[in-house]
Chain A
């Protein structure tokens, strides 16, 4: 199962005074079982890009291949693609509409033609996977907290058992605790189900810990597509695009600039502590 984007270009508001090029000649390959961070500043084109991946937006030029099939082909089944490439939008308010949480999560599985029983199995499984407390399953989705709504929204897509799960700014508007919860939730979903996760964000901090690959997009173009450590080496260029490298990496890089013999590419606090300790000639147990 793989998704390949081949030289995609897209114009926004074609033929009006508002016309602008949203995506410029983008080529990407998304293999199985990867945790990808898609980073870009507001208006960089990241939301437009992900909507190409499940065919919600049709590119003005270029093609998208899903398992080698051209998705713009006449006999290509778009519903199949929507099922395999799950997309969770930024605001859960845009998709929650049923009277209870479970009914809302059932919406997706039923649309793709599962029987009531199969759909329920999928829905309960998805709700368990996102860790929603059991007593909220029959609650109204409109009464939930922001973090819970987001979980239900993710479950609504997860219940369709996608092979690629794309999430647009899933941590926006959450407090630090909620943010950490959602991120580790995604990590565990990826590990358990072996699906590819694409996490869209404007914050490096969000993706630094879990992403195995970071794609940086700016002004409709891919600027970097590499391992986090490699990407964060370009701190100055990232800053020019309005992006910050993680605080921890920033600190280590300043320490290194100041002449300390530490590792510049630390991504997490643990790594940083170990590297500083090492430099000071002590072991972690001191």
Chain B
């Protein structure tokens, strides 16, 4: 069950998208997200959808795998769609008790659901194809200008990448803890909400203890290698743009222009 959570994990295959510069992918994701909010018609979704399909195919990631990663989002998505559906005023086409469904509501809910799904799909494509290390250096250089305002850009980027790196480790750990407690007869699936919440205690406490231990060990290991933050730090593999990045940027600009001018 926990193995299904794949958001933010790196999917190790070889592809042109994986080889793209992390800055391209990071800025590209932002550009893609912006483009999602530029159009108002159905044709825009077709364009954005075609873009997503192309990138997924190029990245050699099974679409099923990404869709599985969206599953935890499903509840939130449905919740927001239902609200929009019932709360949008306009031409009434159906009424039941205190609920009214409007034509505008249906479209608004559909569009919002699709936008959100595209948004998560698009951004998870970035994390699937970029290792946490590369993502850090990409983010660091994209936000580098903030250093003028004394924002600790390097440290923030490092924190994000550590957090991403630890998602699978903690999931694995949770899995092991659950099994160890199940072996002692623990039951996480039956009973009411209170009983279920109580059943989480034997998982959460070992998980907390081990997270703190891991954090301490990581900090020590970083100190032992004289880590002192971003100042004066050079890179073993400096980021370099290639021709493929130029092509990617052109495609992204094409997407934005397309989204603006679509009917």
B-contacting residues of A (Cβ < 8 Å)? 13, 15-17, 51, 54, 56, 79, 82-83, 86-89, 91, 93-97, 107-108, 111-112, 142, 156-157, 160
> Contact: A157 with B183, CB < 8 Å?
yes
Given A95-B177, A111-B184, A160-B185, 13 more contacts at CB 8 Å? A15-B62, A16-B62, A17-B62, A86-B183, A88-B183, A89-B180, A93-B213, A94-B210, A95-B202, A97-B201, A108-B185, A111-B185, A112-B185
Contact residues of B between 1 and 47, Cβ < 8 Å to A: 3, 11-13
* Nearest Cβ on chain B to A118's Cβ, whole angstroms: 14
Closest Cβ of chain A: how far from B71's Cβ, in Å? 14
**Chain A residue, CB-CB nearest to B12:** A17
Contacts of B181 in A (CB 8 A): 95, 107
Min CB–CB distance B171 → chain A (angstroms): 13
A82 and B182: CB pair below 8 A?
yes
B209 in contact with A142 (CB, 8 Å): yes
Tell me if B241 counts as interface (CB < 8 A to partner A): no
Interface presence of B179 (CB below 8 A) = yes
A-B contact pairs, 20 of them (CB 8 A): A13-B3, A15-B64, A17-B12, A17-B62, A82-B183, A82-B184, A86-B183, A87-B183, A89-B183, A91-B176, A94-B176, A94-B180, A94-B206, A94-B210, A95-B177, A95-B181, A97-B202, A111-B184, A156-B184, A157-B183
**In the complex, what's the smallest C-beta–C-beta distance from B218 to chain A, in angstroms?**
17
Smallest CB separation, B176 vs chain A (Å):
5
Complex Cα–Cα for A86 and B177 (A): 15
Q: Are A95 and B65 in contact (CB under 8 A)?
A: no
- Chain B interface residue count, CB cutoff 8 Å, equals 26
**A94 touching B177, Cβ below 8 Å:** yes
Is the contact region of chain B dominated by helix, strand, or loop, or is it mixed? helix
Taking a contact as CB atoms under 8 Å apart, the answer to whether B206 and A82 are in contact is: no
Please measure, in the bound complex, the distance between the C-alpha atom of A196 and the C-alpha atom of B259, giving whole angstroms: 68
* B-chain residues with CB within 8 Å of residue A13 when the two chains form the complex: 3
What CA separation (Å) do A94 and B181 show in the bound complex? 8
Q: In the complex, are the beta carbons of B187 and A79 less than 8 A apart?
A: yes
- B183 near A107: Cβ-Cβ < 8 Å: no
- In the bound complex, residues from chain A placing their C-beta under 8 Å from that of B187 are 79, 111
What is the CA–CA distance of A17 and B3 in the complex, to the nearest angstrom? 14
Interface residues of B in 46-92 (CB under 8 A from A): 62, 64-65
Give the chain B neighbours of A156 by CB distance below 8 A: 184
Contact A111 B186, beta carbon cutoff 8 Å? yes
- State whether B183 touches A79 (Cβ < 8 A): no
Given contacts A93-B206, A97-B201, A107-B202, contact A16 B65 (CB under 8 A): yes
What is the CB-to-nearest-CB distance from B203 to chain A, in angstroms, rounded to a whole number? 8
Known: A89-B180, A95-B206. A17 touches B13 (CB 8 A): yes
Alpha-carbon separation in the docked complex, A94 to B210 (Å): 8
Given A17-B13, A89-B176, CB of A97 within 8 Å of CB of B183: no
> Is B206 a contact of A79 with CB atoms below 8 Å?
no
Q: Which 6 A-B pairs have the closest CB atoms?
A: A111-B185, A97-B205, A108-B184, A95-B180, A87-B183, A94-B180
CB distance from A95 to the nearest CB of B (A): 4
CA distance A215 to B4 in the complex (A): 33
